Structure 1
């Protein structure tokens, strides 16, 4: 037993190592037998929260999901699907007792979801979506069925295919597909399936009706298009409404002026209720055009070329001509509900299942800024009366950090900072697991008292800095349908 635990703690650990009781909440031993610490300065933990590093040595962990046995399923990019079993000492004190390969598949890079009854797995590669029968008791997957194909790009591009199985409409599987190049002309044509979120009826009857397999670009229900790379997709459990977080374009110039440092902003987009497989719901957002590759969200208005009447969160154009000007972008495309700071790279969004009107977002962190930004786990508060964010659409401080870097300036160095990707709540809704691909880690965070503005401490042997010190060093983070001809000059902005 690690750390010289007492006889009582050893007995508890032995009991917890039995697979049938891995979820048992037992009094935490003192000290916690988990002594993992990151090889970098640990993240600052906000007041009212606690955090613990619970797994290391993984290969680029991306999407994560807790199964019905309380184990954590992890997509290790280009490796496969892994299951982590923990000995549970209560709170954030977890110790990995077993790591098991569920599916060895080098094509897996991000997409993962699990049915409500815990027996059906959905996984994706850059080209296809597959379904497996899953046994949580033995962590085995069998009976593979190919559901969707036709998602590869010609040449380089975004390869993640995010999956979300609706809980309100349990036969509907949402799949997000990003662009090829930085500015992708194919996204202008809705029939290409590029830069879209689509929903597919994966019931046996529906699959039989299409010959057992869908083609992404020609089948399914169009949830939204003009979405450059919406890696994070979530369903509000209170309403069944769909939200996504979009990674916007890099190296942008407007009217010959380089504006890429602070523009365009990343986006939180609203898509309305998930479509029903039987009778489509009344949803004015369904199939909406969110602007890309012609229109982008404004984040920083200072010294912005030809600002005019544009304000934070409104859509601006790049080739400012009659085909795609600012007026078109503002009036004919769907604007983001919240605009986040440029290049912070939101990769997942999860609504709290614990009765709070709150959505958590993982900000993977920037590479396309002179001053790094992101590298944080944050949340947005929602109004329970409207199920919309409390912050206004032009807010520059819609998010609140739970984990953030003590010195963001070092974060562009490989392995120097937490780089959050996947988020997953456990069955209680109190623990939130966070994967970090660049560092090969899993963290767990949970509430620990009254929230506030002052920083807390990391639950490892290293003490974090106060949040006030962080804020002094890093700026605040914030947060028409049809076919169109590519305007002249658009290719000049391709990255």
Structure 2
């Protein structure tokens, strides 16, 4: 019981006022750990509990040491530039032993030998190259799965809103590809040499791994959609939650499959879609100017999303809790809607036994808000815009916000029943999001 008491004491870290005050769901709270960053994007922790984030604005990678008093009482002990490279823009990953660091740009993935104790890197190598797009979808998300720590997953988006050539696997655009770390450390390879985990994913910036080892992604649908000459883009297509199996299970139904882009998308609002042959939320359908002789039926023969979210809300990450019953998703927010939407952190319920979402694919209520802006009409310039998430060393959920140049820590307050010494008590205290 005494071990719990410190968590009820007053916060010891200084308060940093947020650029814009969010609203939290009951039981949730959060605070700014750090501000004044340069467009922070991806976020990871090393084996010593130090935080690493990629930054835009010509910065590169920042190394941050924390004072962690538990719960949301976290503050910065020290911060420094770890890697200076103006081309670094998003992706970052560590091997499980925290000795090899991977970072990406639009064109290239590099590795360094990493020393988390001293906050230094050395022995820079180019490991994957030739990923350049013409100016669209610059992020290259990286993930070293815990279930397959000898592999590196690299995401690459499309070259344009509707990239017709991405329908061909040889272009290596709008895909997830997998690389053996030992091989790319020995000699750099082109992105086209990786094994195809999935194709037909327009811009899948969010790549995450469930406790069961399954790879999940959140995909951003196309802009300015029309069907039968009618503009339906305000409410279609949906943003997708997709499943790709465990990467070494090549016999899995999802392995290497086509998820539909650039011809096929999933429905969010069926009522406004012309020639609606019983389309429902989450059903794949074909749009105008398809690159092949596709129909709704051919689209539905491809891989469908497990869940849908409102159009243009721009989910950019997914992180699961340890139990596997919640996946947290930050929605970066829209630019292609008359009424701004997104700009929030949400959670999705999963069945830890099956590893699948609790809600059916037709659900419109699967994403439950945890943290949001009170007035989205002020977005994107006067609100927080979440980007990526990371679990801290004591289990807290950390989140980057690029528009406000902040890093947040999110906590949840719960009642726990304590048993012992012949009596039962209820203790209210801060614990992490589990």
TM-score, normalised with respect to structure 2: 0.91
C-alpha distance in structure 2 between counterparts of 1:95 and 1:290, whole Å: 42
Specify the alignment match of 1:248 in structure 2.
Answer: 221
Specify the alignment match of 2:140 in structure 1.
Answer: 161
C-alpha distance in structure 2 between counterparts of 1:319 and 1:28, whole Å: 58
Matches within 5 A, 1:140-159: 140-153=120-133, 155-159=134-138
C-alpha distance in structure 2 between counterparts of 1:309 and 1:450, whole Å: 46
Q: Which runs of 4+ in 1 moved over 4 A?
A: 25-29
Specify the alignment match of 1:22 in structure 2.
Answer: none
Specify the alignment match of 2:60 in structure 1.
Answer: 80
Q: Tell me by how many angstroms 1:320 deviates.
A: 7.7
C-alpha distance in structure 2 between counterparts of 1:254 and 1:215, whole Å: 37
Specify the alignment match of 1:227 in structure 2.
Answer: 201
Of 228-237 and 311-320, deviating more is 311-320
C-alpha distance in structure 2 between counterparts of 1:49 and 1:445, whole Å: 7
Q: Tell me by how many angstroms 1:259 deviates.
A: 0.5
CA deviation string 1:411-454 (max 9, x = no partner): 13x1x11100010001232x000000011000000221169xxx
Pick from 392, 403, 407: which aligns with 1:426? 392
Pick from 372, 378, 385: which aligns with 2:346? 378
CA contact (8 A) 1:232 1:349 kept: yes
C-alpha distance in structure 2 between counterparts of 1:152 and 1:185, whole Å: 16
CA deviation string 1:65-114 (max 9, x = no partner): 11222221110123110012222333212222211111111111100111
Pick from 89, 92, 113: which aligns with 1:109? 89
C-alpha distance in structure 1 between counterparts of 2:398 and 2:43, whole Å: 8
Stretches of structure 2 that go unaligned for 5 or more consecutive residues are: 417-429
CA contact (8 A) 2:229 2:288 kept: no
Q: Confirm whether residue 328 of structure 1 aligns to residue 298 of structure 2.
A: yes
CA contact (8 A) 2:70 2:394 kept: no
Specify the alignment match of 1:265 in structure 2.
Answer: 238
Pick from 292, 295, 298: which aligns with 2:267? 298
Q: Secondary structure at the match of 1:273?
A: coil
Matches within 5 A, 1:176-191: 176-191=155-170
CA contact (8 A) 2:43 2:388 kept: yes
Specify the alignment match of 2:101 in structure 1.
Answer: 121
Specify the alignment match of 2:187 in structure 1.
Answer: 212
Specify the alignment match of 2:421 in structure 1.
Answer: none
Matches within 5 A, 1:50-69: 50-69=29-48
Q: 1:366 to 1:207 in 2, by over 3 A?
A: closer
Matches within 5 A, 1:132-143: 132-143=112-123
Q: Choose between structure 1 and 2: higher strand proportion.
A: 2
Pick from 319, 325, 328: which aligns with 1:350? 319
Specify the alignment match of 2:425 in structure 1.
Answer: none
Q: Secondary structure at the match of 1:109?
A: strand
Q: Secondary structure at the match of 2:166?
A: helix
TM-score, normalised with respect to structure 1: 0.80
Stretches of structure 1 that go unaligned for 5 or more consecutive residues are: 1-24, 452-458, 460-495
Q: Confirm whether residue 99 of structure 1 aligns to residue 79 of structure 2.
A: yes
Specify the alignment match of 1:435 in structure 2.
Answer: 400
Specify the alignment match of 1:481 in structure 2.
Answer: none
Q: Tell me by how many angstroms 1:26 deviates.
A: 5.8
C-alpha distance in structure 1 between counterparts of 2:288 and 2:25, whole Å: 42
CA deviation string 1:203-234 (max 9, x = no partner): 1xx347xx7112112x1210000000000111
Specify the alignment match of 2:210 in structure 1.
Answer: 236
CA contact (8 A) 2:136 2:160 kept: yes
Specify the alignment match of 2:424 in structure 1.
Answer: none
CA contact (8 A) 1:319 1:325 kept: no
